[in-house]
Amino acid sequence: MATNENLPPNVIKQLAKELKGLDESPPEGIKVGVNDDDFSIIYADIEGPAGTPYENGVFRMKLLLSHDFPHSPPKGYFLTKIFHPNIAPNGEICVNTLKKDWNPSLGLRHVLIIVRCLLIEPYPESALNEQAGKMLLENYDEYARHARLYTGIHAKPKPKLKSGAICESTTALNVEQHNTSVLNIEQKNAASGAGLSLPSPLAPSSTKGGNNPDHQPQLQQQPIVPATETGVSGTAVVGISGTAPKKEGLSKIPADKKKMDARKKSLKRL
């Protein structure tokens, strides 16, 4: 399963659309395939154009898409050995379309067609293979003989690319893009949720208590400290701080009783 780590979602979307179009309506003499492990590598089998030294050959090539494609051009390489002025011995392709003439509006179809046209009309002035370029300018027959020799040895028909591979791959691209979008939404929701202030464990609870004891507000215990209050009769009354104060009438009752007892004793003496 491809990871597509090298490509941003917008490029994946464009790539899926182009690959589907190439599969349904391929250019003449070109068959496109996709690397199952990395969709940034596009494979193509190019048939040698008729009337050229590459006729009857099948040349496999690849396009490497960078992270900022299509703003930067892909890099093209021939995997099949070929004797051509504009293709280096290591397979690198030299064509202006993939360099100074690149335009982001150009798609994969245009690039592949240009590469096949390069087999019809080479440009020896900008040769990567100096031997082939010099031979083409000085002795075309010798150049054509070398090119046909390479074609007969190396450009034999390749195993055909799976016709349904691109459709399956583009489906996988769409699914992965959808999963990426869902993941981004979930991450945004998680980030916004983390920004909400949580109630401090030291803050008083505003939840009203019910039958569940877990919801009962806990009262803070106050230390019991004796407090002395002076009654109306002058005697000391000892209370407990934190309790409701006694009514004034209760403190007056023992004082009035003592006064009445004292009056009775005074009358008896008289």
- Catalytic site residues? 94
What SS3 class is residue 234? coil
The number of residues in the chain equals 270
- β-strands 41-47, 226-230: how paired? unpaired
**Total H helices, total E strands in the chain:** 6, 6
Cβ 86 vs Cβ 118: under 8 Å: yes
Q: What is the CB neighbour count within 10 angstroms for residue 161?
A: 17
Rg of the chain over Cα atoms, rounded to whole angstroms, equals 47
Question: What distance in Å separates the CA atoms of residue 216 and residue 207, rounded to the nearest whole number?
Answer: 9
